[in-house]
A = this chain, B = another copy of it.
C-alpha cells in the first residue's frame, strides 16, 4: 500500500464535522479506512520454514528455556515478558549479570509482520534474529555450542527436535533452534483490536475520539511511515531524542544517511509496550506523539489532536495470545 497523506482529503470531505453525524460520515470515513489493513491472523510464512505444530511447541519451550543463558536464569521470556506486552517496560534491556543494554526491548508481538528485525534492521527475518540475544554478551551471554549441549542432555528435547525436524539426521542444531523460535513467534499475534474490528465494519468498535484520532493520524501524515498491517513502513528514519543513542542503521550499511537512523516501530499494542523509541527515553504516549509531530512532521499538535491520536493508539491494543507456561524438562 502506498499512501501520500494530504490535507485536502479531509478538508474536502469535512470528515471531522461528520464523524458524529449522518450517513455521509460513513462514506467519508471509508476513504480513511481504506488506507489501513486489519491485522491478518498470521504473518507471511517463509517457504523454507513451514509453520507446524511441532515447531510451535518446541519453539515455545525454547522461548521459556533459561538454560539457553549462561546464568541459567534468563530466557527469551525474561525481556520479552508475556506479562509485560512481551517486552520489559524498561528503557533499555537488562541482561546478563544486570548489564543494561544499548536499546529498548522491542515487543515480540506481531514481529512476524516486520520486514526486518532489530532496531537497526540488521537481520531480515525472525530466523536471523533468534540467536542474536542468546549470544549477545549483555543479554543471555551464552555460547551457542554449550547451549546445544545443554539441550541435548534432555530426552524430551531429543524427541521434540526429532518430531519438529523429521528429515534431519542431527536435528539439535543452531539453525533448528532459530527455526523453531521463529515459528513460535509467528504465532504471537494480536488480532481483533478495536481498530481491526472497526476496519472490518463494526463502526462501534472505536470511540468517537478514537475515530477522530484515526482521521488526525492520516491527515497529519503519521500514516506515511506507520502503514501496513503492523503500522510500520519498515524504513529507517533519523530524529533527535533525549538520552543516549548509538549509530543505528549506520552500523549495518555504513551509509552516511543511515547514521542515527532506526526502523519505524510497529504501533500495534503501543499502549502496552512503553517506554518508547530505541533508547526508551519517553515513557508515555502523549510525549511520544508530541515528539513525533515536532521531529518527523515539523508541527506542534494542538491538545485536542494530541488527545485524539493517543486515544486512537489505544485502539491498537489487540487480543493477547493465550500462552500457558510450558513445563520444561
Contacts and interface: CB of A to CB of B under 8 A. Distances in A.
Given A72-B90, A72-B94, A94-B72, A324 B324 contact: yes
A206 to B, nearest CB: 21
Interface stretch (A17-25, A81-89, A119-127, A191-199): A81-89
Nearest to A323: B325
B320 A82 contact: no
A286 B65 CA distance: 25
A328 interface: yes
Interface in A64-85: 64-67, 71-73, 75, 78-79, 81-85
A268 interface: no
A81 B83 CA distance: 14
Contact of A324 (B78, B88, B322, B327): B322
Given A73-B78, A78-B78, A325-B325, A83 B64 contact: yes
A104 to B, nearest CB: 13
Contacts of A322: 324
A314 to B, nearest CB: 14
A103 interface: no
A184 to B, nearest CB: 14
A327 B328 CA distance: 22
Nearest to A100: B71
A98 B79 CA distance: 15
A325 B83 contact: yes
- Identical copies of this chain, number: 2
Contacts of A146: none
Contact of A327 (B72, B83, B97, B327): B83
Contacts of A98: 71, 96-98
A71 B328 CA distance: 26
B96 A81 contact: no
Contact of A88 (B64, B66, B78, B97): B66
A71 B94 contact: yes
A88 B71 contact: no
A79 to B, nearest CB: 7
A66 B94 CA distance: 12
B82 A325 contact: yes
Contact of A66 (B67, B84, B327): B84
A328 B88 contact: no
A166 interface: no
A72 B88 contact: yes
Interface string A300-329: 000000000000000000001011111110
A59 to B, nearest CB: 14
Interface of A: 64-67, 71-73, 75, 78-79, 81-85, 88-90, 94, 96-98, 272, 320, 322-328
26 contacts: A64-B83, A65-B83, A66-B81, A66-B84, A66-B88, A67-B89, A71-B94, A71-B98, A72-B88, A72-B90, A73-B88, A73-B90, A73-B94, A75-B83, A78-B78, A82-B325, A83-B328, A85-B327, A89-B328, A96-B98, A272-B327, A320-B327, A322-B324, A323-B324, A323-B325, A325-B325
